[in-house]
Chains A and B, each alone.
Chain A
Amino acid sequence: MPETAPAAMILTSRTDTKPAPKPDPAAPGRRTRRLSVEIRQHAPGWLQAAALAGGLVVGLICAAALLVAAGVSLSDLAQEFVVSILTSPESLAAVLTQAAPLSIIGLAAAIAFRVRFWNVGIEGQMIGGAIAATAVALADLGPEPLRLVLMGLAAALGGALWMLGPTLLRLRLGLNEIISTLLLNYVAFNGLLHLLYGPWRDPESNFPNSALFSSPERLADLGWQNLTYALPLAVVLMLAGWWLINLSRFGFLMRVAEANPRLGRAQGLPMTGVVLAATLLSGALAGVAGFAICAGVEHRLTQSFAAGYGFSGILIAFLARNNPLAVLVVAFAVGMLFVAGQSLQVFYQIPSSAVQLVQALIVLCVAASDFFIRHRLRWID
């Protein structure tokens, strides 16, 4: 996350205030006690874990309360969210199918965060990537055995291209990337609609989605349930991301770009190049996630395949603390949420945006719990 405790704050904070004297219970009518906030230098591991767990629990309780208020009984919630997913292989497979693209976009968001770049445009980049991959599929480019590889590469290129504008505008003009990436989501979505209602409309069904991909254009099945190679692809990408961030020279440069780009520049390190490469990589990963959904799940380009994923990417990177291996775990949990959200939609007419609500509540509660890691509350007189 771009904002970890800034060094200046730690240096200048008053941390060793004298222990507060016990308030005198015999002093009536004087309300001089007040709650003081102090900065903590260190938070012990148990406290960090407790704060995270507390944030998660409070977030889940809030979410459950809202869903119960919307008419889903508590036992049904437990059934949909936990029991059915952990007991039925079909549901587990559905969760893993969701977790694959989710982890890829989580990694996309994490890599951009690593250079202090808020990539809020993941949905646009997914659309850009999926459009590029679909173009390859519809045009039957390349020999059939290589078709999928070409589609994946096209998707990476499409996602990166969609990111190129915001990156260059940020690096050359200092234009705020939050707004530019977000606005381009709407542009990409309208472009997608144009294709699906126009030239790419399915000639067979006349529905506004592309024609079905032929079998060399689909990610192959793994042989268990309906899982495809999207899952191993995601795992490989996470491992590669872990290597890139933790072990490679580029990862070191990203850490400099995150902590102190001015220092890096003064040392002659290519800070602009690092931000450029990291953001384009982020866009490319988002494009690949779009490809994984189209070629692995939907087998065609649809209108709303990317809907809601952008915020999930940010949530996953945030909860995983930008660590690619933790991204896998969080993506699995968010996948559970997505699958449960689908059955809530079918059986209880809960709109799919409820999934976003639950995610937002969890992010807010976990972010709020950070307060207790970084600060200490104390009554002073």
Chain B
Amino acid sequence: MFADFLLDWLSAVPGFAVPFALAALGLLVIEKAGVLSLGAEGFMLVGALSGIGAILGLGSQPLPALAVSAAAAALLSVLFSFLVVSLRVNQVIAGLSFVFLAQGLTGLIGTTEGWVNRPVEGLRSLSLIPLVDIPVIGPVLFRQDVVVFLTVPAFAVVAWFLTRTLTGLRLRAVGDGPDAADAAGIGVARMRYGAVAAGAALVGIAGGYLSVGTARIWVEGMTGGRGWIAIALVIFARWQPWRALAGALLFGAIEALIPRIAAVGVQVPQYFIAMIPYLATLGVMIWTCLRGNGGSLEPRALGVAHLREDR
């Protein structure tokens, strides 16, 4: 009985962890370039709507729909970059406004197009044939959908890109010391535009995965604060990719547990259970603060707009 519960829970964890993981990974790329991205929730909302929109409006398959999610979020992020990189708008105000911009825009489009509450055929789970036969861990790890399988490689690629490539080094330089990077001939604005677009695309996929992959339905405001949790995850991870993945798994485990608590007959008021992810995020943030700031790879110029003429 308990083993069944555990197995059922664990096999659901990756699916719940993916939105957190991809959103945190995208944020990490954006913030490593020195741009504070409080608009994550908004990019997720855009991704969630455009994924469903691609399926219902364009008749797309689920996987290309996720590409549409990425493209839509990246497109909107160019506007964000224009405001905070080129026009040097306060990044907190711009980020907050973008969340509400996306909330209003997705609500407006989704409702007028009639995409609310229309179930779609989502991503199918794949079994990695020889591996799925391993007892216990086989079904947990190797019967998942394709996005789950691609998430870990995505982290590897981003970690490799940031630490082992010249462009990654330049991106980090722009986030740590834009003046010095500028003097060294790196196009600060161009790098930030690129990082924001690439990161927003990942955050958009995270949102698209919520609607196309797990819920298979779209409702207004369906991300439910996951973008904010992802922002907290990046702080908790001290801007290190693998730690962010670990944090995402933790929150995936929490979210996967929520529907299962009631199912096994534990009597806790449901709305208290619904508070758990937010309280857990606060707890994780407090723990991060208490532990001190040692070893943090926080970009030193995070949230600081760069202008050559400022020097």
Contact = CB atoms under 8 A, between A and B. Distances in A.
Interface of A: 1-3, 9, 12-14, 36-39, 66, 70-71, 118, 120, 169, 173-176, 178-180, 182-184, 186-187, 190-191, 193-194, 197-198, 311, 314, 318, 349-361, 363-364, 367-368, 370-371, 374-375
Contacts of A190: 271-272, 274-275
Interface stretch (B66-74, B124-132, B194-202, B280-288): B280-288
- Give the size category of B's interface with A: 35 or more
B222 interface: no
B285 A180 contact: yes
Interface in B107-153: 107-109, 111-112
Contacts of B87: 368, 371
Given A3-B90, A314-B96, A368-B87, A358 B104 contact: yes
B104 A356 contact: yes
A1 B271 CA distance: 35
6 contacts: A9-B310, A169-B289, A183-B279, A356-B101, A360-B101, A371-B87
Interface of B: 38, 83, 87-90, 92-94, 96-98, 100-101, 103-105, 107-109, 111-112, 220-221, 224-225, 228-229, 231-232, 235, 269, 271-272, 274-275, 278-279, 281-282, 285-286, 289-290, 307, 309-311
A120 B96 contact: yes
Contacts of B109: 70
Given A13-B309, A367-B93, A191 B275 contact: yes
Contacts of B224: 186
A41 to B, nearest CB: 13
Contacts of B108: 66, 70, 350-351, 353-354, 357
Contacts of B278: 183-184, 186-187
B57 to A, nearest CB: 15
B298 to A, nearest CB: 11
Chain A contact residues, majority secondary structure: helix
Contacts of B279: 183, 187
A349 B114 CA distance: 11
A367 B89 contact: yes
Given A173-B290, A178-B38, A368-B87, 11 more contacts: A13-B310, A176-B235, A178-B92, A183-B279, A190-B271, A193-B271, A194-B271, A311-B96, A314-B93, A357-B104, A360-B97
A371 B88 contact: yes
B89 A368 contact: yes
Given A173-B286, A194-B272, A38 B309 contact: yes
A12 B311 CA distance: 6
A357 B231 contact: no
B82 to A, nearest CB: 8
Q: Taking each of A12, A179, A194, which has the highest tally of chain B beta carbons within 10 Å of its own beta carbon?
A: A179
B42 to A, nearest CB: 9
A67 to B, nearest CB: 8
Contacts of A353: 103-104, 107-108, 220-221
Closest CB pairs A-B (n = 6): A357-B104, A353-B107, A194-B271, A360-B101, A173-B289, A360-B100
Contacts of B38: 178
Nearest to B288: A175
A175 B286 CA distance: 7
Contacts of A355: 104
A183 B233 CA distance: 13
A314 B94 CA distance: 12
B89 A364 contact: yes
A186 B225 contact: yes
A191 to B, nearest CB: 7
B302 to A, nearest CB: 11
B309 A14 contact: yes
Contacts of A120: 96
A194 B272 CA distance: 7
Contacts of A174: 289
A24 to B, nearest CB: 24
Q: Taking each of B38, B89, B111, which has the highest tally of chain A beta carbons within 10 Å of its own beta carbon?
A: B89
B275 A357 contact: no
A371 B89 contact: yes
A18 to B, nearest CB: 14
A1 B111 contact: no
B127 to A, nearest CB: 36
Contacts of A354: 104, 107-108
Nearest to B289: A173
Nearest to B101: A360
Contacts of B231: 179
B289 A175 contact: yes
